A = this chain, B = another copy of it.
């Protein structure tokens, strides 16, 4: 395998990610992708067999990148209080998904993920499920530690959904905040969002589980 071969492969993958993200699998054409990559139409057949092969390559590459960056538990978790862990969890969630949904590439990867969430391919389903499952377990353990209640308690699980729901909406909602009518200016400061979600969630968790801090 020659160096040039790998390079054009990457060029096509990048162009394909953008095209699939913004126009979907059917909407994106291999001609358009190859043109954007400065390659000829035949190159898709050579490097990826066909359009499906290209799509799968894009998906698995993206999921690999994401899963590499998404270790839910920080390495020094042992020395942190439950409250600190919660704050770090929220910040990490916002930072990581924030960069995916509105990062340097204008949220292209986020668009791609949303399309996959709505209509998941096998590769995505497997990877994402595993990713989210670990994240959920860690979050529930934090809430459990915070409240002294077992993770099996309904209130703990429901609180977990509430926390994730807020985080997700602060990220995903950006795309539709123009529609939602919220003032979006303040939300550029991630740390302020983190502080809000932390305080709000702590108050909510305590209220739901009947504990007082």
Chain A residues at the B interface, C-beta cutoff of 8 Å: 22-27, 111, 114-115, 117-120, 125, 128-129, 132-133, 136-137, 154-155, 157-162, 164-166, 168-170, 173, 175-176, 178-183, 186, 193, 196-197, 199-208
Q: Which residue of B lies closest to A129 (CB)?
A: B179
Q: Which residue of B lies closest to A22 (CB)?
A: B119
Contact with A161, one of B117, B132, B136, B182 (Cβ below 8 angstroms): B182
**Number of this chain's copies in the complex:** 2
* A-B contacts, 8 listed (Cβ < 8 Å): A115-B118, A129-B181, A154-B186, A158-B200, A161-B169, A199-B204, A201-B204, A202-B207
| A128 neighbours in B (Cβ, 8 Å) | 179
Report the minimal beta-carbon distance from A52 to chain B, rounded to whole angstroms: 14
Q: Is the CB of A181 within 8 A of B133?
A: yes
| A26 neighbours in B (Cβ, 8 Å) | 23-24, 26-27
| A206 neighbours in B (Cβ, 8 Å) | 203, 207
Find the residue from A168, A193, A200 having the highest chain B CB count within 10 A.
A200
Q: Is the CB of A179 within 8 A of B27?
A: no
